[in-house]
Amino acid sequence: MIVAALSIGLLNVAAVAASSEPEVANAPVAISPDLVNENVLFAFDHPPIVARAKALIDASTPGSKIDLPLYYFNQQTIIDSLKLAKERGVDIRVLLDGHMRGQWQHTALRAFLGADKSQPSYVAVCGNRVADGDSFVASRGCIGTRQFGGDNDPSYALNHNKFITLSGVLLTNGTVATNVTYISSANLDTYDAYQSALTVTDPKVHLYYSFYFADLEFHQSSTGDDAYNRRWGAAADPYQLFAFPFHETGADSPYDGTNDPIANILRTEACTAGGSIKVANYRIQRAAVVTQLIAAAKRGCVVQAVFGQSGDNPETPDDETFAALKDLAAPDSGIIVRQCGSAAAYGGIPMHEKFLTIRKDASTAPQLLVGSANLTYKGLRQSDENVLRVRDADIIAKYTARADDFYRLCKVWTP
């Protein structure tokens, strides 16, 4: 009885001691180190992508910073996570595309972030919301302001980025990862499509994207810079960042590919027998890129091309299919083009990814180009976009396998 009484007493003391320790309200939720160290997430719909972005935000530590430029999102869970992060002392800066101006997401973010760019946290919008047929688009991007087409059928620039930089992320091993960058093909919405997200912890990648965000922030309230043409890092570095728009040189046409960085990489690499180029991009429109893909195939390089949307609008009687895509799939190109699209004949799930792997030949290390940009003229000449060049074998192996999966899964497309 005495032992029992002592045990109960000790338990009560322990309970009192435990209850006297203050609980940490709204603490960051630690995530596995594997999720921030060269992590690649592939999905066929958006919930896993949204969950990954949310997990990174939820793990952000007090006193750290989050920068987020985003074309579109409609997930309340992201707003809730950003609000909690702000309340625990995280500085948050968000740049939205102009078509979201005044919408519920913008209003909700402004309620706790404010709109004053002189403060550590804010939400700002690039351009205005303008009608475009039955939908709405932005009148400009943050940096890109260029308009193609006539007044009756304008094509506007936009902020098409989908990346997040985080300066402090709590890990389950008790440490804090700094210099974390999340790069995705996906908006944070409910669109069912094949997507990917790459998360790396690297000081240079984080610095490059931070530089880019600073320019997006600066030009958001200025006249922009349609000849932005930025790149950080050298071609041989582990990582090199291209940031758009790129303006054509001199008197060249906007549709000329002289300074198209993707076409120039393909030209410089000159893939030949024993090598491969594997393209998975939602829209393939640029003639200079297609010319290089066809030239590589004729040299004996294995070229795989998968896309998600052909450029044609099935609701109109005209064939608006990208001319370069037709050339890519022509019988004499030497390339079998495949589509994963929204139509039942093409699987019912569009491929929305934006990556390309290159291996010049059997003896050369591969490289990867991945980011937000479609292979369109809008993505090259008008809009705010990012493409990261990667020379990490483990990351590239995952994207190469993904491209091979698409080439087996997606259906052969002919013009």
Across the chain, which has 415 residues, the per-10-residue mean pLDDT values are: 38 38 77 97 94 99 98 97 99 98 98 98 98 93 93 88 99 98 97 97 99 98 95 98 96 92 98 98 98 99 98 84 98 98 96 98 98 98 99 98 98 96
Domains and CATH numbers, the chain: 33-183 (3.30.870), 228-311+320-412 (3.30.870.10)
DSSP E strands in 30-149: the ranges are 39-43, 65-70, 91-97, 122-126, 129-132, 135-138
Measured CA to CA in angstroms, residue 319 lies from 119, 151, 316, 413 at distances of 49, 22, 8, 15
All residues at 6 or more sequence positions from 301 whose CB lies less than 8 Å from its CB, including other chains: 271, 272, 273, 275, 276, 277
Q: Give the pLDDT confidence score for residue 315 in this predicted structure.
A: 75
Q: Give the pLDDT confidence score for residue 308 in this predicted structure.
A: 98
Strands 354-359 and 367-371: antiparallel
Tell me: the pLDDT tens digits for 330-344? 999 999 999 999 999
- b vs e for 231-251, b when ≥16 Cβ sit within 10 Å of the residue's Cβ? ebbeeeeebbbbbbbbbbeee
Strand, helix or coil at 244?
A: strand
All residues at 6 or more sequence positions from 368 whose CB lies less than 8 Å from its CB, including other chains: 355, 356, 357, 358, 389, 390, 391, 392, 395, 396, 399
Q: Give the pLDDT confidence score for residue 16 in this predicted structure.
A: 37
Give this prediction's pTM. 0.93
Q: Give the pLDDT confidence score for residue 25 in this predicted structure.
A: 75
